[in-house]
Amino acid sequence: MNCPNCGQPIAPDEVFCGHCGTQLAPPEPIAPPASPTVPVTPVATKPARSLPVVPIVVGVAVVLLICCVCLGVVGLVGGLCAMPLPDTEPTPVATERPIAQPTLGAEATAVRPATAGPTIVMPTAELPFPGDTPLRITSYAQNTSSLSNSAVEIMGDVENTSNKAVDTGFYLVYVTLKDQNGQVIKTSKDLTTRLQRPILQPGQKSCFRSFFKAEDFGFALADVARLEAVVREDPAGHEAYTIELTTSNVKRTGNAVTGDVTNDTQYATRSVFILVTLYDSAGQVIGVHYGTRVGDEQLAPGGTMKFTYNIISSDAASTKSFDVLVIAYKQT
């Protein structure tokens, strides 16, 4: 190969002429050998797998249904547990015990009643109310100085303030002595007396009366300024039983209170007690007085008898109303 400018021979791969320096045309690039073509096989792309919609919806619905059922069962059980149990008050079963014949006079103590009045069947009456006393003293009178037997005296009436019949045998009237300064006077034993009417219907009253001798209860009569009374449960329970008889044709003529007594029970009686409570114009108790028939005279079932009670002169003018209660011992 020769230089196109000077004609001198040059190598085929020279860029400049070694003789004259002329720039020679650049050599054609040598093409690289062709690489064998490898066929490319397209990779099949799998479509994205979609989750089944219907089974999921059904599963969620089943879970929600189970939850609702569980909540319903829990609510039902809770409601049943919260339901109040029905009241099951036991019917008191009275057991008769022997009782002593009461004595008359200054030391006479009230008889504890326990059965129904004119009806033959003993009515269902309430035992002591837990934590509550259904009986309330409505009025009472007292005597602290004028008695000849060195005793104090209290008399009054008690009302059933509940809506149920109450057996008064489970209660006592507790009496407290106080001096002029209102301080409690200590005694050697409790001062208590009993209610006379065996069964108190709602709103019905029973009288009470008792004497307490100073030497028997360990107090000085001169120290007593007043007496206070309250009804409480009897811790000893029921002791005595009497029955209440029916009165009719009761009236007052002058100072005499008269009437008829009928034994409407199934029991024969061996003694009958007439108790008369006197009230003033304000309805306050003036006194409670006893009249009695004791001994061989009996009042058979269905039998009747008359009674007369004379109001003492010191109470006659103040007495504006009165109540008569007749009780008796059952013949044994």
* Tens digits of residue pLDDT in 275-294: 999 999 999 999 998 876 65
Place of tokens 């504006």: 320
Give a yes or no: residue 93 inside a domain: no
Q: What are phi and psi of 32, to 5 degrees?
A: -70, 150
pLDDT digits 0-9 by tens, 62-111: 677 776 666 665 555 455 454 444 444 444 333 333 333 333 333 333 33
Give a yes or no: residue 220 inside a domain: yes
Q: How many CB atoms lie within 10 A of CB 223?
A: 14
Give a yes or no: residue 252 inside a domain: yes
Domain count, the chain: 1
Give a yes or no: residue 191 inside a domain: yes
Give a yes or no: residue 89 inside a domain: no
Say what the pTM is.
Answer: 0.59
CA distance to 177, 280, 302, per residue, from 213 (Å): 12, 27, 40
Give a yes or no: residue 51 inside a domain: no
Domain that includes residue 266, residue range? 135-330
Give a yes or no: residue 118 inside a domain: no
Q: Average pLDDT of 174-186? A: 96
Q: How far apart are CA 114 and CA 197, in angstroms?
A: 8
Q: What stretches of the chain show up as alpha helix (H) in DSSP?
A: 53-82, 214-217, 313-316
Give a yes or no: residue 154 inside a domain: yes
pLDDT digits 0-9 by tens, 206-244: 999 999 999 999 999 999 999 999 999 988 877 556 889
Q: What integer pLDDT is reported at residue 24 of this predicted model?
A: 63
Tell which wins on pLDDT, 160 or 53. Answer: 160
Which pair of tokens denotes residue 300? 């058979």
